[in-house]
Amino acid sequence: MTPEAPKETTKDSPKTTKARKRSARKRSGKTKAAVDSILLTTLNKLKIKKNDRANAADIINKIISKIIEHVKQNIDWFKEVEKLSTGSYYENLKICNPDEFDVMLAIPVDRVDIAPFGNDGAYYSVGLKRGKSPLHKFLDNDTLSASKMLDEFREEVKKCVKLIETCIRVCRFIL
């Protein structure tokens, strides 16, 4: 075996090291500026313009009000419902186009029995205690059936949306 020759190590002078560091900083500064520019451009594209937001909110709020009014008139268990404004749009977290709106409707109910469903505490079963409630028809083994409630709700929303569509078509035709 032949011994390996020792590798030559040369130490840069302090001036050379400083020059290399400055050069690397300049390159990283240019790279950082380019990345910042790309991020700002992307952010500006994702922001919803105030006019778009206002127009969408106006239209959506009118439609939601019409639906709630219609459903309150046609579903007995829905008469006391309250609209809760929540979700990405209302919390200014919506990006891009204002094309999706969350609507939460609270149904006040007297005397309910709430029990955890599963071990993680994320889901609960809701039952009705004694007393008369229009929600009794949705009980399934002493637990309210959300799917049965949603089925009835959806049917009424569909009817209302058809009425709204007809109104929009007629209004456009008249204009």
pLDDT in tens, 44-100: 666 666 666 667 777 778 888 899 999 999 999 989 898 887 776 666 666 566 666
Q: What is d(CA 44, CA 89) in angstroms, rounded to the nearest whole number? A: 17
Answer whether residue 153 shows pLDDT above 50.
yes
Q: Using the predicted structure, report yes or no on whether residue 155 has a pLDDT greater than 90.
A: yes
pLDDT (average), residues 153-171: 80
How deeply is 40 buried, as exposed, middle or buried, from its count of CB atoms within 10 A (0-12, 13-18, 19+)? exposed
CB 105 within 8 A of CB 98: no
What is the per-residue pLDDT across 95-117, written as a single tens digit (0 to 9) for each? 566 666 778 889 888 888 999 88
| Domain at 50-108+145-174: CATH code | 3.30.460.90
Query: pTM of the prediction?
Result: 0.60
Q: Own/partner pairs for 108-111, CB < 8 Å, 24+ apart?
A: 108/80, 108/81, 108/82, 109/133, 109/135
**Residue 94: exposure state from Cβ atoms within 10 A (0-12, 13-18, ≥19):** buried
Which range, of 19-28, 31-40, 67-76, 114-123, averages the lowest pLDDT?
19-28
- Ranking 5-9, 130-134, 135-139 by mean pLDDT, the lowest is 5-9
pLDDT over 70 at 171, yes or no: no
pLDDT at 147: 94
> Residue type for 155, please?
E
Q: Give the domain ranges of the chain.
A: 50-108+145-174
Band of residue 148 on the pLDDT scale cut at 50, 70, 90 = very high
Give the chain's mean pLDDT: 76
DSSP labels for 25-39? Answer: HHHHHHHHHHHHHHH
Cα–Cα distances in Å, from 146 out to 4, 29, 117, 175?
79, 56, 14, 42
Average pLDDT over residues 27-42: 72
Are 141 and 47 in contact by the 8 Å Cβ rule? The answer is no
Q: What local confidence, expressed as pLDDT, does residue 175 receive?
A: 42
Cα three-residue angle 151-154-160, rounded to 5 degrees: 150
